[in-house]
Structure 1
């Protein structure tokens, strides 16, 4: 048995140091492999509890662990010059459809939206790191299918896609105006009410 396995406090410190030094969020398996195969689940739980009331939190997003600023302090750390990623309405719709229906093909996205989807729309989402090619559908023509990425979950503060809100939740939070309400209903149910008149980028 290694000295680290005999000293739980050392393991917690080692996991903490590994996550602080990591360039990207890490799975528990990757952390364990970095520490010579030692089980790290208990150490991650202990660290998450330790940081729960501090200025940074240890969070799991899409099976990957990383430290992030506590949400009530985020405004203190904003840079004077911020890079804002603005999505077109078309890109927002496509991203929502991928998130709620993944894995999904371009044809399925277009069937839900009721309009053609410009290739550039999916390119923008993939360049942002929020959508990825997830393989091909095993049907004639074998169309490419798309899914969200761990970066999508991290950016929107989701542990998994199960945390995506429904229409009733968004309406109750006052996040929908009548136009958005119709669009989100279309996205979640997969029912299109729009004529095929092109992609409104």
Structure 2
């Protein structure tokens, strides 16, 4: 080959396009690194993710199933385990340790004016029927109010009256006494004590609103509001 031919061949080699390495699929890392990558995705995801969703984020050629199997084996018996929900995978608290995540919450609700008034009427007039409660209050007694007081454990059903229709009566319970710090219903403050403590005005009350007096025994003396209910 002449020098001219050699020069031509050299130019031909130099003019060939270089391969585009950027378009070549990345080489899959070793299985340990694949496991780390899958673990990171599981940890970061709030919702379970599928094997297909994991695969599209990994380098080409990764074995998602093998990585998941290794993670499952490594977490077995630990506080966090690999769980499956349908087609998705997630890292979750071990089922037998779920009780540690539970927290008992006491929800505090405030009794309505009608409820505290009804409770006071029952406390001072027990045993008392619903009709008698309505007569004292001057308005109808809501069934929901009575049910709420029963659910709280502060009142219960008493004996039925021997009058026509044999209406049921309502009485207070030991839980009621315990909540208000009373040894017995005989320790309920009288109207004189209520007036002396400033909870009642000294002037006589209209009979139609006599319930205002008895309900004052259960109002917070600082705020004048009903007590909190802690079921």
Tell me which interval the TM-score lies in, with the shorter structure as reference length: 0.3 to 0.5
**TM-score, scaled relative to structure 1:** 0.48
TM-score by length of structure 2 reads 0.42
Larger radius of gyration: 2
Structure number with higher relative contact order (C-alpha < 8 Å, ≥ 6 residues apart) = 1
